[in-house]
């Protein structure tokens, strides 16, 4: 255990050595959290079970990007606590560091669980929950279908954390200190697996330039995720060259809005976002699937979901949340955005 404080308060974070084995992992969070936990699970396969009935520790890997995501995590914690009253239940992922959000009386907070440079041989060691915001979920549906992007790709970790300071985002706090993995140390893993998507919370231009060089060197197709607009613009020529070689399968760049006043209010660059839209058009001409995220109902600004759909192949959405937790309001917003259970 360790004591930690941040802008959300202070509390105790349990460590991997505190977990009783076998451990069952259940991920309600993003590909970044999934990939790093899979890396630890594959390095400690003996300590993991894929059956919660056999587990002595159950870990819910949570997300805090919106209050409805938090509510979904709490539902999962409550469900496991009720069904397995004699099993220790932990909360990991980004939500673990939201000390301002109360958990159930039996739930403990868990620090990051990851093992750098570990190939992910068995992806079943972490159960990835069906995306709660999708309706009529169908396993194996086309990748462009809502909630399916990268779901079956090989998640190759190249970094963690983010040093940006976008006004709507707290990931720089909840993910811990940011760092990058050495591409040369990931070379064997990169060459070994197909349908690779590079996983980082906010990969830098320098890091991605190295990875594009490696893809060109080995003539191997890749997908890129969470590339910020300013980074995308800085390597536009390289991305087009990669696409010309048919080596870029999916390019994901979270623009968040196409309303320039909203973008400025988010402390982001309107010019970089506009240039990214133009880049998306160029990549789509070369058969690249382009994807983005937008924030709905951001303050008083007009939604630009439709505009994003015209500019990108796939668009994911999140409703804006001011970061102040109120379960009653979250339940009301769940009804607004998702309807009845």
Give dist(CA 252, CA 224) in Å, integer. Answer: 6
Give a yes or no: residue 241 inside a domain. yes
DSSP 110: B
DSSP 256: B
Give a yes or no: residue 129 inside a domain. no
CB 200 within 8 A of CB 226: yes
Residues contacting 109, CB < 8 A, separation 6+: 11, 12, 13, 14, 90, 91, 92, 96, 97, 99, 103
Residues 164 and 297 in one domain: yes
Q: What CATH number is associated with residue 244? A: 3.80.30.20
pLDDT digits (tens, 9 = 90+) for 133-158: 988 888 888 888 888 999 999 999 99
Q: Measured on CA atoms in the order 210, 182, 168, 308, is the torsion positive or negative?
A: positive
Total of domains in the chain: 2
Domain that residue 263 falls in: 147-324
Give a yes or no: residue 40 inside a domain. yes
63 SS3 class: coil
Residues 182 and 91 in one domain: no
Residues 179 and 298 in one domain: yes
Residues 229 and 280 in one domain: yes
Residues 58 and 188 in one domain: no
Q: What is the mean pLDDT of residues 294-301?
A: 96
Give a yes or no: residue 334 inside a domain. no
Q: Is the pLDDT score of 257 beyond 60?
A: yes
pLDDT digits (tens, 9 = 90+) for 196-240: 999 998 899 999 999 999 999 999 999 999 999 999 999 999 999
Residues 157 and 86 in one domain: no
Q: Is the pLDDT score of 176 beyond 80?
A: no
Give a yes or no: residue 257 inside a domain. yes
Q: What is the mean pLDDT of residues 304-322?
A: 96
């Amino acid at each position: 255990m360790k004591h930690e404080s941040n802008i959300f308060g202070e509390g105790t974070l349990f460590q991997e050595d505190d977990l009783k084995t076998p451990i069952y992992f259940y991920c309600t969070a993003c590909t970044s959290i999934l990939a790093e936990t899979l890396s630890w699970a594959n390095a400690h396969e003996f300590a993991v079970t894929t059956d919660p009935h056999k587990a002595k520790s159950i870990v819910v890997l949570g997300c805090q990007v919106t209050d409805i995501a938090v509510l979904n995590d709490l539902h999962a914690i409550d469900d496991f606590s009720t069904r397995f009253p004699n099993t220790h239940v932990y909360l990991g992922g980004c939500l673990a560091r939201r000390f301002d959000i109360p958990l159930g009386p039996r739930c403990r907070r868990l620090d990051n669980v990851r093992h750098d440079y570990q190939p992910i041989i068995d992806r079943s060691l972490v159960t990835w929950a069906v995306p709660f915001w999708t309706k009529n979920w169908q396993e194996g549906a086309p990748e462009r279908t809502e909630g399916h992007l990268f779901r079956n790709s090989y998640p190759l970790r190249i970094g963690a954390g983010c040093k940006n300071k976008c006004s709507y985002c707290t990931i720089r706090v909840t993910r811990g200190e940011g760092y990058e993995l050495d591409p040369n140390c990931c070379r064997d893993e990169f060459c070994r697996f197909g349908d690779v998507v590079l996983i980082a919370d906010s990969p830098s231009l320098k890091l991605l330039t190295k990875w594009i060089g490696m893809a060109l060197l080995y003539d191997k197709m890749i997908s890129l995720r969470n590339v910020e607009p300013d980074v995308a613009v800085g390597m536009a020529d390289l991305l087009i060259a990669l696409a010309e070689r048919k080596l870029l399968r999916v390019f994901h760049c979270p623009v968040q809005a196409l309303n320039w006043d909203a973008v400025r209010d988010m402390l982001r660059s309107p010019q970089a976002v506009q240039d990214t839209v133009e880049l998306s058009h160029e990549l789509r001409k070369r058969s690249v699937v382009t994807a983005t995220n937008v924030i709905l109902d951001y303050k008083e600004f007009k939604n630009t979901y439709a505009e994003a759909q015209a500019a990108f192949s796939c668009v994911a959405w999140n409703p804006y949340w001011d970061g102040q937790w109120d379960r009653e309001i979250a339940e009301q917003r769940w009804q607004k955005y998702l309807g009845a259970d």
